[in-house]
Structure 1
Amino acid sequence: MNKSEFVEVLAASFEGNRAQARRALDAVIMTLTARLANGDRIVISGFGAFQQSIRTGREVRNPRTGEIHVIADRTIPKFIPGGELKNVVAGVRTAAKKATAKKTTTAKKSAAKKATAKKTAAKKTAAAKKATAKKSAAKKSAAKKTTAKKSPAKKTAAKKTTAAKKATAKKTTAAKKATAKKATAKKTTAKKATAKKSAAKKTTAAKKATAKKSTAKKAPAKKTVAKKATAKKTTAKKATARRSPARV
């Protein structure tokens, strides 16, 4: 397995992101080489230890020419595998267990990262809300100040308009009252004229009635006089009859 293939396998732990996997692998390699060059011993528990080792010098013979070369002592890197790594290489069960353990740890780490991301997002949203609330409060205060400045002018204009409305209302009410008075005066005059006409009619009717009564009274008086005259005639006839002797 070369480096690119190893990156392909490692990308599964980074949700398929090959760039992150390559950066992580390069960072691990550079850190290990720098620490080993410094003479440090790097121990990864369960995996193994990286350290320096001194290889003693020796003589080397060239087979072509037969010359003998002397190689001096040199420092070389050395890896000592850990117990868990040995067990994993020896059997498959431990490898499966380790894989599941790695998956659980990676899942826990991802969940922790998500939780922290959510917390940071919540903090950012809360800060943004506070900032917006402050801005809105500042805008409201500025609007209140501007409205407070505009309110005296509005009040004066409103007062003027109300005064003009009151004056027009008074004029209209006065005009209505005048028209109402004229109408009532016309009605009263009409009523008086009708009353006078009715009184004149009543007086003429009363005069006619009294004239009829007087004529009716005169007619029976004439009748009584005629009756009295006829009665006198009858009495005179009776008297003459009594006086005259009866003829034989």
Structure 2
Amino acid sequence: MSTLDIKDLHVSIETEQGTKEILKGVSLTIKTGETHAIMGPNGSGKSTLASTIAGHPRYEVTSGSLTLDGEDVLAMSVDERAKAGLFLAMQYPVEVPGVTMTNFLRTAKTAIDGEAPSIRTWTKDVKGAMEKLRIDPAFATRNVNEGFSGGEKKRVEILQLELFKPKFAVLDETDSGLDVDALKIVSEGVNRAQAENEMGTLLITHYTRILRYIKPQFVHVFVDGRVAEQGGPELADRLEDEGYDRFLPTASA
């Protein structure tokens, strides 16, 4: 079992108005085999946490720690984090002109594992994963995300997840922009990765609809850069009924 441990994490960014603190002391512990849902209103720091775990250079950790099995993740480069077993499914996957899906996937897998996968096995794995995610085989020769719809980009993110087999996956609003059919397909892919690899999942979302398909054991509510409340899946149901109003400051009369 592996453990991703976040302790009293404070994170800031530079804005036109100066330095702004986004995360104000976040603590979470995630173990392989667990699914944690992070919910909260816009601007509460959910995506900032995802980007910080992945190593985005815009986000500066001013205090606190982030460790993976005791190793200091904050001291690792982005590629070292991927090799250590961390994966980010981005909220807005970027296009990579001039790089085909086939080349990207094999190159990334080789970099993560430290050796190239067997051509025969790899080809079979890629084909099988694409079929399960209902990705057109022709996409293998297209440039990464170039001309893809929002739903197609999200399926490609989960394709990478299934093929790269990380210890921990951070899914940053993977459900945004998906219709019901695509949501089910993407969720099934995440569930397969969890079942096959004992992966730990940090699922960031505004809505409970994806939680009907990916069942969390733990739910954390982010408000103003902090964990305002945490509990089991029943907390998500309460948020669905009540929203976030009770966590927000009320206007004075």
Common fold, TM-score beyond 0.5? no
TM-score, reference length from structure 2: 0.19
Q: Higher helix proportion, which one?
A: 1
Which protein is richer in strand relative to its size? 2
* Relative contact order, higher structure (CA 8 A, sep 6+): 2
How does the TM-score come out when normalised to structure 1?
0.20
Larger Rg: 1
